[in-house]
Structure 1
Amino acid sequence: MSSEAQIKAFAEKYNIKNTSLIKTGAFVNGEWIHPGNETFAVEDPATGEKLLDVINTPIDVIEQSIKDAKVAFDKFKKESTGRSRGVLLKKLFDLMTENAEDLARLVTIENGKALADSRGEVKYGASFFEWFAEEAPRSYGDNIPSTDLAKRIITYKQPVGVVGILTPWNFPTAMITRKLGAAVAAGCTSVIKPATETPLSALAVAALIEQAGFPKGVVNILPVDQERTKKVGTLFCESPLIKKISFTGSTGVGKLLMTQSASTLKKLSFELGGNAPLIIFDDAKLDVAIVGTIASKLRQSGQTCVCANRVYVQSGIYDEFSKLLVEEVKKLKQGNGLDEGVTHGPLIHDRAVEKVQSHIKDAVGKGAKILTGGKVNTELGPLFHELTVLGDVPKTAVVNKDETFGPLVPLIKFETEEEVIELANDTEYGLASYFFTEDYRRIFRVGEALNSGMVGANAGAITEAALPFGGVGWSGFGREGSKYGLDDYTVIKSVVIGGL
C-alpha cells in the first residue's frame, strides 16, 4: 500500500485537487482496510511508470465482505425505500459532478485515454446515478385479474440480494456506476472487483460513496491483482450468498463464469465481446458518415466493446469515402492523454498492441493495402499504435471474425444491401451495429435486419443512460441503463389473495 507521502506526491504530480479521492486500500463494510502486506502496482500505460501500490485484498477478507454484504442486504431491504435510495444516488451524482475533473484525471492516468474522453466517461458514469435515482421510486408491481372471482393476484418487484460485480479496465468509472446505480436503486447490496489495471478510479467512487453516507456494507470494493482475479471470480460465482453476477468483459471469461455459477443457479447479466459492423451506403451523407466512423471505430483508440470492428463501404462511394476518411484520421493526435490537444492515447498493454499488429499482417498478407498508419509509434512509447486504415480488406481476413480492440479501421467493399446484411450478421456476436443512409425506408429495413442488441442509424455514438445497453448471442444478455435496467436486479413475487 502506498504511504500518505506517496499519495500526496502523486496528487501534486498529476494535479489532483481532492486528495481524499486517492485510495489504495479495500473498502469493506463502510471502512477502509489494509490487510496484510500484499500489494500490486498500478502503472501509467502512456509512460510505463508506476503510479501507486494498491492492496491485494486477501481471499478471507473478500469472503467476509460477502457475509457483510448479506447482513447489510437484510437490513437495507427492510429499512430503505425507493425514494430514500434515490436520495443516496442523487447525492452520489452530485459528488461525482463536483469532483469530475479529478475523477477524469485519474481515469486518464491509469487507463491512458485522452482527457476529453475521460471527462466524457465521468459525465456518462455519473448520469447513471442520476438516472437510477429517478427510477428507484418507480419499481412498480401489478394487479392481475384472476380467472377466479374470489381471488386477486398482486405482483411485487423485490431486490434479488447480494450482487457480485466484475468490471473491465476500459471504462473504469462508468462500468461500475452503470451496474451499481441499478443495484442500489433496486435495494441490492454489492461486492465489486474492479479491473487490476484500473483500481484507482473504482476506489475514488468508493470514497464518494462513503462521503454520501451509504449504510455500511451496501457497497464493498475489493482490488486484487491479476492472479487473484480468477479466484475472486470463482468465489463470487460459487458463493451461495451472492444471488446475481454482473460482468463486463470477454466472451471466454463470460462462458467460464456462467459455468461456475451453475451450481448456485444465480441470476446473470453479461456484457461480452463484440464484432460490430459499420455500413456506409451509397446514399449516405459522407461528412456525417466520416464523423460517425471515427467516433465509432477509433474512440479510445478502438478499445470499447461497441467499437465498430468491420467497416463496409458500398462500391459507389468507396474511393471517395476512403480518401476523406484517411484525411480526417491524419488530423488526429496521439500522445499522453493529459497533454493538450491529444485525441488518442496508448493501448492498455503489449498484448493489445500485438493483436492489432497481427490483424494488420494477416489482412495485408491477403491483399489489403495500408492507407495510413500500420506501425507501432515507438517515438511515443511501446503501447502507442498508429491509427491505421486498411483498404481493400478481403472478406477472408481474420479481422472479419475476430474483434481487434485497437485502432484499426478495415475498409471492406460491398455491392448490395442484401450482401452486406449477410456479411454483417455472419458472426456469433451481436452487441452493436451501425449504418449510414439517407433512405428512411432503409433505416427501418436494415435496422430490423441487423442481428445485434443495439443499432446506430446515422449515429456513431449511441450510449447514454436512457439506452437499454446489451447484446445478443455471444455478446451476452441482460440490459443495463434505461427503464429496463432495474429488471436484472429484481425478482417478481406473486401473491394470490383468496376468499374474497
Structure 2
Amino acid sequence: MNATSDLRTRAAAALGRCGVDLPDGGALAVTSPVDGTELARLPLHSAEDVDVAIGHAARAFEQWRDVPAPVRGRLVRRLGELLVEHKSDLAELVTLEVGKIPSEAAGEVQEMIDVCDFAVGLSRQLYGRTMPSERPGHRLMETWHPLGVVGVISAFNFPVAVWSWNTAIALVCGDPVVWKPSETTPLTALACDALLRRAADDVGAPDGLHHVVLGDATVGESLVDDPRIALVSATGSVRMGRLVAPRVAARFGRCLLELGGNNAAIVTPSADLDLTVRGVVFSAAGTAGQRCTTLRRLIVHRSIVDTVVERIGKAYSGLRVGNPFDEGVLVGPLVSEKSYEAMRSALDRAAADGGVVVAGGERVDVSGNGVYVSPALVRMPGQTEVVQEETFAPILYVLTYDDLDEAIALHNAVPQGLSSSIFTLDQREAEQFLSRSDCGIANVNIGTSGAEIGGAFGGEKETGGGRESGSDSWKAYMRRATNTVNYSTELPLAQGVEFG
C-alpha cells in the first residue's frame, strides 16, 4: 500500500489488529491532517454515559486498591508486552491522526513501553519511611495508599504517551482511570483501551479499571466536577488550566496540570555549533512545532548570532515538508487550518514589531487537504508581546544577548516555565544556568524536547506545576498517611503533655 492509499482502510486495519471494530457512524468525525481524509465517525458519550463510566471505575477501585501493588504491576507488565506486539499498529494510528513522521510516532509508542517498564519496577518500590519517635516504645512512620479514580484529559499532540504516563503509574498505585482523549485523536485512544482491557483479561484484573469517554469540553467538565474523580490530570492550554484548576479545587479534589510551554535555548560563544544546530533544528521543527517542549525562542550571543542564524537557516532549507508517509519527509502537517491561521497571525505581529523572517514561514503545497508549512526562523529586535506567547506552530524567534545574566533574564521573562536548555562548553555557564532557569526541565547541550521517562516531566509558572512519568511522580496518584504505633504498656503524650 503506497503513501497515497486509502488512509481510512489503513486506520481500520490497524484498529482491527488491536481488537477494535469501527462503529458504523456517529457525530464525531475523525479526519487525518495528512490529507483531510475522514478516517471514521464515532458516537459521542452523553453526560449519563460519563456518569456510568465513573461509577464503574469507582466500584473497581474498591477491589483494585486491596490488590497488592506487585500484583497490580502484572497488569502493566502485560500491557507493555501488548504494546510491543502492536507498536507498528499504534504508530500508524498516531501518524494518521496527528501527522507525525513514522519515526516520531514509533518513538511515542516506545515511550509507552518504557513507562510500563518503569511502572512495573515501581510496583515494588512505593516506599514510605520510618521516623524516630520522641516517645519510648512507639514507632512513627508514613505509608502510601491508593488515591481513587484518576481522570485523564489529554491533548492531540501526544495522543498515547501522556495517557500511558498517567495510566501505567495510576494502575500500579491502585487507581482506575477514566480517559477523555482529544476529539482529534480518538482512534488511538480506542486502540489503547482495547489493549489494556485485553491485558486485564489476561491477568484476571477486575472489570472497570479503564474507560474511554469521547466528546467535547462538556465531557471533560464532567470529570472535572465529579467528586468521585480523586485526581484530574489534564494536559492542554493555559486557558484550559485556568478553567480546570479552580473547579477541582472548589470540591477539594487534586489537580495535575501540564499546560503551555514557551521554551528557550541559550547559545553561548563557546558552544559546539555542529551539535547546537542539530539540537535546535529538531527541537524547533520536530512534530511541525506542535510539542509542548518545542523550542520557540533562541537566545544567542551577539558575537555569533549571524553565524548561528545562517547555519540554522541552511538546515531549515534542507528540511523536507510533506506527507509523513513519504520517504525522507521530516516535517508533517499542522493539525488544522486554525493552527496555520494562528501561525500566520503571529508572523504578522512579529513583522509589525520589527521582526524579520529569514527562513520559512510559507504554506507548502502538498496533495490533498492537509495543512503544511515550512518552519519559520525569525530574527527579533527584542522579546515583544508575541514572543512571550506560545504559538503552537513551527516558529523560532531569535534574540541576542551580551552577557549571561542578560540571557537568563530574557529566558525567564515569559509566563511559561516548561523546558529550557543552554549550549555551552563552559562549566561555570552551565551550572549557573541550571541553578537559575525557572523551568521544570533544564538541559545542557541538548535541545528542549525529547524528555526521557525516568525524570519527572512538568513545569512551573503557567505550565501548571504538575509532574508526570518518572522520579517520585507516583506520589500524586496516592495518599499519604502518618502512622504512630504504640507497642509499649504506657501512654505518653507527645510534647510532654500531661492529661489526667
When normalised by structure 2's length, the TM-score is 0.92
Q: Which sits farther off after the overlay, 287-296 or 259-268? A: 259-268
Summarize the Cα distance change of 1:481–1:17 in structure 2 as closer, same or farther, 3 Å threshold: closer
Mapping of residues 35-54 of structure 1, within 5 Å? 38-54=26-42
Partner of 1:425: 412
Q: Aligned match of 1:171 in 143, 158, 171?
A: 158
Partner of 1:217: 208
Displacement of 1:412 after TM fit?
Answer: 1.2
Contact 2:404–2:429, Cα closer than 8 Å, also in 1: no
Q: Aligned match of 2:293 in 296, 306, 312?
A: 306
Distance 1:357 1:204 in 2: 35
Partner of 1:480: 468
Paired letter, 1:50:
E
Displacement of 1:112 after TM fit?
Answer: 0.9
Paired letter, 1:23:
V
Gapped runs of 5+ residues in structure 1?
1-8, 26-33
Q: Aligned match of 1:441 in 428, 447, 452?
A: 428
Displacement of 1:341 after TM fit?
Answer: 1.4
Displacement of 1:105 after TM fit?
Answer: 0.6
Displacement of 1:14 after TM fit?
Answer: 5.5
Paired letter, 2:172:
A
Contact 1:24–1:54, Cα closer than 8 Å, also in 2: no
Gapped runs of 5+ residues in structure 2?
1-5, 489-500
Distance 2:163 2:46 in 1: 21
Distance 2:284 2:8 in 1: 33
Contact 1:82–1:138, Cα closer than 8 Å, also in 2: no
Q: Aligned match of 1:110 in 85, 97, 112?
A: 97
Displacement of 1:326 after TM fit?
Answer: 0.9
Distance 1:332 1:359 in 2: 22
Q: Which sits farther off after the overlay, 408-417 or 395-404? A: 395-404
Deviations 1:364-384 (A, max 9, x none): 222222212122224455511
Distance 1:454 1:462 in 2: 11
Distance 2:141 2:299 in 1: 50
Deviations 1:301-342 (A, max 9, x none): 110111111111111111111111111111111111112211
When normalised by structure 1's length, the TM-score is 0.92
- Classify the secondary structure of the residue corresponding to 1:51: strand
Q: Aligned match of 2:284 in 268, 286, 297?
A: 297
Paired letter, 1:47:
D
Distance 1:327 1:237 in 2: 47
Distance 1:485 1:22 in 2: 31
Partner of 1:61: 49
Summarize the Cα distance change of 1:24–1:401 in structure 2 as closer, same or farther, 3 Å threshold: farther
Contact 1:237–1:264, Cα closer than 8 Å, also in 2: no
Q: Does 1:492 align with 2:480?
A: yes
Displacement of 1:396 after TM fit?
Answer: 4.6
Distance 1:276 1:174 in 2: 20
Summarize the Cα distance change of 1:22–1:254 in structure 2 as closer, same or farther, 3 Å threshold: farther
Q: Aligned match of 1:318 in 290, 298, 305?
A: 305
Summarize the Cα distance change of 1:191–1:13 in structure 2 as closer, same or farther, 3 Å threshold: closer
Q: Aligned match of 1:19 in 9, 13, 16?
A: 16
Distance 1:12 1:195 in 2: 22
Distance 2:14 2:419 in 1: 38
Q: Does 1:129 align with 2:116?
A: yes
Distance 1:164 1:361 in 2: 39
Contact 2:8–2:37, Cα closer than 8 Å, also in 1: no
Q: Aligned match of 1:194 in 181, 188, 191?
A: 181
Q: Aligned match of 2:127 in 119, 140, 151?
A: 140
Partner of 1:30: none
- Classify the secondary structure of the residue corresponding to 1:75: helix
Distance 1:368 1:264 in 2: 46
- Classify the secondary structure of the residue corresponding to 1:491: strand
Contact 1:388–1:407, Cα closer than 8 Å, also in 2: yes
Q: RMSD between aligned alpha carbons? A: 1.8
Paired letter, 1:483:
S
Q: Does 1:95 align with 2:93?
A: no
Mapping of residues 140-159 of structure 1, within 5 Å? 140-159=127-146
Mapping of residues 345-384 of structure 1, within 5 Å? 345-380=332-367, 381=369, 383-384=371-372
Mapping of residues 380-395 of structure 1, within 5 Å? 380=367, 381=369, 383-391=371-379, 393-395=380-382
Distance 2:453 2:18 in 1: 24
Q: Does 1:470 align with 2:458?
A: yes
Deviations 1:222-271 (A, max 9, x none): 122xxxx2222221122111111101111111111111112321111111
Distance 1:442 1:164 in 2: 41
Distance 2:47 2:286 in 1: 36
Distance 2:362 2:385 in 1: 18
Contact 1:11–1:19, Cα closer than 8 Å, also in 2: no
Paired letter, 2:463:
S
Distance 2:116 2:70 in 1: 13
Tell me which stretches of 4 or more aligned residues in structure 1 moved more than 6 Å. none
Deviations 1:140-176 (A, max 9, x none): 1122211111322222100110111100000001011
Distance 1:339 1:173 in 2: 23
Displacement of 1:21 after TM fit?
Answer: 2.1
Paired letter, 1:178:
W
Summarize the Cα distance change of 1:22–1:351 in structure 2 as closer, same or farther, 3 Å threshold: farther
Q: Aligned match of 2:69 in 57, 82, 89?
A: 82
Displacement of 1:101 after TM fit?
Answer: 0.8
Distance 2:272 2:12 in 1: 42
Distance 2:191 2:378 in 1: 40
Q: Aligned match of 1:241 in 223, 228, 247?
A: 228
